[in-house]
Structure 1
Amino acid sequence: MIEGYVHRESVIAGSTLRMHVSTDAADFRIRCYRLGRELVFMGESGPYSGVWSPPPPHPDGDPEHASPAEAWGWPAYGLPVPEHWPPGIYLAHLAHLVEGGTAEGTADSAADSAAASGESGGEIDGIEGFEREFFVVRPRMPGRTARILYKKSTFTRHAYNQSNRTGLVRASSLYEHPVYQEGGDGPAGEPRGHKLSMHRPGGVIDLAYWDAPFIAWLERAGYDVEYCTDLDLHADPELLAPYDLLLSVGHDEYWSAAMRERVAAFTRGGGNVAFFSANTCWWRVHPVDGDTAFVSDTDHQVGDAYPHLPATDLWWQPAPDGVGEPENTLTGVSFRNGGMWPGEWPGDRPRAGYTVQHAGHWVFEGTGLRDGSDGGRPDALGAGTPLIGYECDGAAFAYDETGTARATGADGTPGSFLILGLYLLDPVHEDFHQLKWGHWNCPAREREITGPRAATMGIHTSDEPGGGTVFTAGTTDWPVVCGRETDPAVVRVTRNVLDRLGRRDPSRPAGR
């Protein structure tokens, strides 16, 4: 048995990554791979002497679970990261040493050999199920190799991380057997809410599903990209300064106040953002314990009870019952006007795609898609693929006299927001955790649906002179469809967004 977690999920090239490992083997090595066009073996460190350490027990006393709130405190090992390693997301595979000095890990040996030689090509089947951790390598001189910054949504990854491993289901996360602390009962200065340690093993399922295919496509398509984590953005007020475009990819649900402030300032100053994501900026988090854990007052149950309702870290809910800063003001859309599909993740769902509006906009250039203004039937972007969902965001809207959907702004969506694609969520699923207006896992806060609800793709510009442009895909699975190249028009739209917004141009009103 061997498993581990990184001390912090990013490291500057040329420095040392700290990795915490528990194993019953006498010795082990750490194999490193870089995600890209292919899964490339980069090197191996060790041998290290193994030490087995149990996880901390769950405060509810159930021996089947481990505490998701407490740092697991496993022994730390230094992993030197060579200065020549390029920016990227890397996999760390922990491997036992067996007789003869060869390494044996938890992955199938044939698949592991393919990964080491790059034969897996970054396919999900090549990495899913391995007991691995990931980390981000950042350049010593940010912005030198790329003007696009890819933000890996690590706070969301930790929220869903159950700390399971092969043969053992611990089911301990923000959603399963969470730990709630009342304000003042935790260490001094910690807020009230569910507490979650980032010092726990977690695996790479979310990375395999959303990030791996999209990163592979970015490299195949010739885009130079540098990388960061949520914690990097939270902690470094100058992180975005060297870049022209920030990417949010996949499922990006949990944001700190500092993250929002930095991205908002970035767009006001002319920076651009592409949200190839959804359920974006839904909950606020408060990093604690030296940025090794966070607290969020959510509406997740502890046992059979909701510890505190209303949950005050919901971004859109008006204060004092919530933060009072709708995510729409940043992204243009919100999960409360979107929703999710019932059933297991990722699940199947309708494959109708986005009904196209404003086909003459530069976002649709080269797609050949029509919006019905020629008297014909509007085309659908991504038709035949599961583009809409697994979770999706929307803007409050109404139809004008021409039948065109326009944002009303009633939910905080900026006045410049232009709806480019729409998928009506009809019928609304009411049989899965009382899904209503994007609310689930607790009683709906808005008792009635007051207007149509739809997954929404759109774009808006900052109100500031010379401000930047924000594109939102409105769906978590955009990077999957694009990365796997299952719809040429989705790929072309992605290219158009990256090509147009990948460089600041204050002389051009990019959003129109």
Structure 2
Amino acid sequence: MIEGYVDRESVTAGGVLTLHVATRAPWFRVRFYRLGAELEFMAESGPFPGEFRPPPAHPDGDPGHASPARDWGWPGYRLPVPADWPPGIYLAQFTGHGEEAAPLRGLDAVEGHGREFFVVRARDPGGHGRILYKKSTFTRHAYNRSDAPGAERASSLYDNPVYVTGEDGGPRGHKLSLHRPGGVIDLAYWDAPFIAWLERNGYAVEYCTDLDLHEDPALLDPYRLLLSVGHDEYWSAAMRDHAEAYVRAGGNIAFLSANTCWWRIHPTDGNTAFVSDTDHQVGEEYPHLPATDQWWTPPPDGVGRPENTLTGVSFRNGGMWPGEWPGDRPRAGYTVQHADHWIYAGTGLRNGSHGGPPDALGAGTPLIGYECDGAAFAYDAAGTAYATGADGTPGSFLILGLYVLDPVHEDFHHLKWGHWNCPVREGAPTGPRAATMGVYTAGGTVFTAGTTDWPVICGHELDAGVTRVTRNLLDRLGGVRP
């Protein structure tokens, strides 16, 4: 078995990538691929001498688990990144002597063990493209169980987490190290198909990670549009600050994501780990309730900075699919509103003004979910939904599409209102909840898809309306015409 992780998940072209690898093989090689319209082989490096080190033990003493909170401390190997490698998300495939894996063929081969991803950033930011794609790496680490073939370690923020009390002067909460291995299921599911669609359609895009946005207040300056894609749940305060300043200054953001900005995180250990005070169990106990790193909850029980003020929507007014991930969800799509808006140009969709029922965007596809966000809303006299702003959604937010969710119940054949902790905090819903697609302008323009799986439907071109809306969005807010 061979496993590895990167020292840092982004590197500038011409810089040095450090890989940490553990294997019982006497030597190993690394194959590099770039995610684009296809999975493109870029290079092979090595051989490197192999060395095995076991994962650090979990503090609960269970030999079946490894610690998700500690740096795994595996041997590091420095590899120069060619200066002419284009911006993108890259895959490193580890192959050991005596257990050589076959070369990867096609985007369907992205998911698996014995590999890791990293971002190559442009040497001249904005020189390749004015759209910046943010890979949601903090969320990836929250769910990373560090499993391997034959080793279900089940160690993450959700599985056997480690809680730190903050008595050393650091933040209190569940701690996760970024220096540990894991699969790339999120990359394969959300990112690979959407990146392929972007490149097939001629969009020049540059890339960054959550940590890049956290560390660099000027990161967004060269770009016209920031993309948040898929599942983007964990944000630091600095990420919020930098994104909000960017919008105020006229920058645009497209949240092709959901469950977005639900928990605050605190990078620690030289930004190689983070802590978040969430309401996840440790064993049979809740270490600390209320969980003070929930963005929307008023202080002192939470941050008191609703995500709606940035995204326009929130998971507390949305919901999730309660069955297997990603699940065979309802396929009703978004009920169209304001069909004359530029976002719907060329789709042919109508909102009922023709005298018939309104059309649905993405009907027949699992567009809504598996998690989705919404805005508090009501209906006007004409039956059109509008955002009330009661939850922090900006007053200029225009609801373009709506899918009303069922309230919490035990029927596992519906998308349900609310994350499991929302009813605990808020009790019964005070109004209707709905997955919400919309847009507002406050300096720059912010669009939200309100659903995690927008990039999946667009990437696989499962609905012509969704792909056309995405084109309209990128062309107008990204300032590009492929």
TM-score range, shorter chain: over 0.9
Question: Which residue matches 2:41?
Answer: 41
Is the CA contact 2:25–2:96 (under 8 Å) kept in the aligned structure 1? Answer: yes
Q: How far apart are the structure 2 equivalents of 1:377 and 1:442?
A: 33
Is the CA contact 1:430–1:436 (under 8 Å) kept in the aligned structure 2? Answer: no
Question: Which residue matches 1:104?
Answer: 100
Code of the aligned partner of 2:83:
E
Q: How far apart are the structure 1 equivalents of 2:78 and 2:156?
A: 27
1:298 is the counterpart of 2:294: no
Equivalent residue in structure 1 for 2:163, among 180, 190, 193: 180
The offset of 1:176, in angstroms, is 0.4
Code of the aligned partner of 2:165:
E
Is the CA contact 2:405–2:435 (under 8 Å) kept in the aligned structure 1? Answer: yes
Equivalent residue in structure 2 for 1:490, among 452, 466, 473: 466
TM-score normalised according to structure 1 size: 0.92
Q: How far apart are the structure 1 equivalents of 2:416 and 2:469?
A: 30
The offset of 1:428, in angstroms, is 3.5
The offset of 1:437, in angstroms, is 5.2
1:338-377 to structure 2, matched below 5 A, reads 338-377=318-357
1:160-179 C-alpha deviation (Å, 9 max, x unpaired): 00000112100000000000
1:237-386 to structure 2, matched below 5 A, reads 237-386=217-366
Is the CA contact 1:4–1:22 (under 8 Å) kept in the aligned structure 2? Answer: yes
Tell me, what secondary structure is at the counterpart of 1:444?
helix
Question: Which residue matches 2:444?
Answer: 468
Gaps of 5+ in 2: none
Q: How far apart are the structure 2 equivalents of 1:335 and 1:444?
A: 14
Code of the aligned partner of 2:235:
W
Equivalent residue in structure 1 for 2:383, among 382, 399, 403: 403
Question: Which residue matches 1:228?
Answer: 208
Code of the aligned partner of 1:48:
F
Is the CA contact 1:437–1:446 (under 8 Å) kept in the aligned structure 2? Answer: no
The offset of 1:439, in angstroms, is 2.8
Q: How far apart are the structure 1 equivalents of 2:409 and 2:446?
A: 30
Question: Which residue matches 1:152?
Answer: 135
Tell me, what secondary structure is at the counterpart of 2:94?
strand
Question: Which residue matches 1:78?
Answer: 78
The offset of 1:374, in angstroms, is 1.9
Is the CA contact 1:67–1:172 (under 8 Å) kept in the aligned structure 2? Answer: yes
Code of the aligned partner of 1:127:
V
Is the CA contact 1:3–1:21 (under 8 Å) kept in the aligned structure 2? Answer: yes
Is the CA contact 2:264–2:276 (under 8 Å) kept in the aligned structure 1? Answer: yes
Is the CA contact 2:177–2:272 (under 8 Å) kept in the aligned structure 1? Answer: yes
Question: Which residue matches 1:189?
Answer: 169
Identity over the aligned pairs, expressed in percent?
76
Code of the aligned partner of 1:259:
M
The offset of 1:373, in angstroms, is 1.4
The offset of 1:189, in angstroms, is 3.2
Question: Which residue matches 1:138?
Answer: 121
Question: Which residue matches 1:501?
Answer: 477
Code of the aligned partner of 2:114:
E
Q: How far apart are the structure 1 equivalents of 2:411 and 2:381?
A: 34
Q: How far apart are the structure 2 equivalents of 1:468 and 1:443?
A: 34
The offset of 1:343, in angstroms, is 1.1
Is the CA contact 1:310–1:321 (under 8 Å) kept in the aligned structure 2? Answer: yes
Q: How far apart are the structure 1 equivalents of 2:453 and 2:144?
A: 19
Is the CA contact 1:338–1:454 (under 8 Å) kept in the aligned structure 2? Answer: yes
Q: How far apart are the structure 1 equivalents of 2:62 and 2:45?
A: 37
Is the CA contact 2:3–2:113 (under 8 Å) kept in the aligned structure 1? Answer: no
Q: How far apart are the structure 2 equivalents of 1:15 and 1:183?
A: 35
1:361-392 C-alpha deviation (Å, 9 max, x unpaired): 00000000000012111000000000000000
Code of the aligned partner of 2:132:
L
Question: Which residue matches 1:448?
Answer: 428
1:281-302 C-alpha deviation (Å, 9 max, x unpaired): 0000000000000000000000
1:170-216 C-alpha deviation (Å, 9 max, x unpaired): 000000000001121xxx43111000000000121000000000000
1:272 and 1:34, CA in 2 relative to 1: closer, same or farther beyond 3 A?
same
Q: How far apart are the structure 2 equivalents of 1:369 and 1:151?
A: 30
1:472-510 C-alpha deviation (Å, 9 max, x unpaired): 000000000000000000000000000000039xxxxxx
Is the CA contact 1:332–1:413 (under 8 Å) kept in the aligned structure 2? Answer: yes
Q: How far apart are the structure 1 equivalents of 2:8 and 2:162?
A: 22
1:387-426 to structure 2, matched below 5 A, reads 387-426=367-406
Is the CA contact 2:402–2:437 (under 8 Å) kept in the aligned structure 1? Answer: yes
Is the CA contact 2:377–2:386 (under 8 Å) kept in the aligned structure 1? Answer: yes
Question: Which residue matches 1:169?
Answer: 152
Q: How far apart are the structure 1 equivalents of 2:317 and 2:323?
A: 20
Is the CA contact 2:320–2:419 (under 8 Å) kept in the aligned structure 1? Answer: no
The offset of 1:430, in angstroms, is 5.0
The offset of 1:33, in angstroms, is 0.2
The offset of 1:443, in angstroms, is 6.0
Question: Which residue matches 1:57?
Answer: 57
The offset of 1:426, in angstroms, is 2.0
Tell me, what secondary structure is at the counterpart of 2:117?
strand
1:332 and 1:428, CA in 2 relative to 1: closer, same or farther beyond 3 A?
same
1:223-275 C-alpha deviation (Å, 9 max, x unpaired): 00000000000011111011010000000000000000000000000000000
CA RMSD of aligned residues (A): 1.4
Code of the aligned partner of 2:72:
W
Q: How far apart are the structure 1 equivalents of 2:117 and 2:38?
A: 16
Code of the aligned partner of 2:176:
L
1:477 is the counterpart of 2:450: no
Q: How far apart are the structure 1 equivalents of 2:28 and 2:284?
A: 42
Q: How far apart are the structure 2 equivalents of 1:436 and 1:182?
A: 34
Q: How far apart are the structure 2 equivalents of 1:397 and 1:442?
A: 18
Q: How far apart are the structure 1 equivalents of 2:169 and 2:338?
A: 50
Code of the aligned partner of 2:84:
H
Gaps of 5+ in 1: 505-512
Q: How far apart are the structure 2 equivalents of 1:130 and 1:81?
A: 23
Q: How far apart are the structure 2 equivalents of 1:60 and 1:96?
A: 32
The offset of 1:436, in angstroms, is 7.5
Q: How far apart are the structure 2 equivalents of 1:162 and 1:256?
A: 21
The offset of 1:130, in angstroms, is 3.9
Q: How far apart are the structure 2 equivalents of 1:32 and 1:424?
A: 44
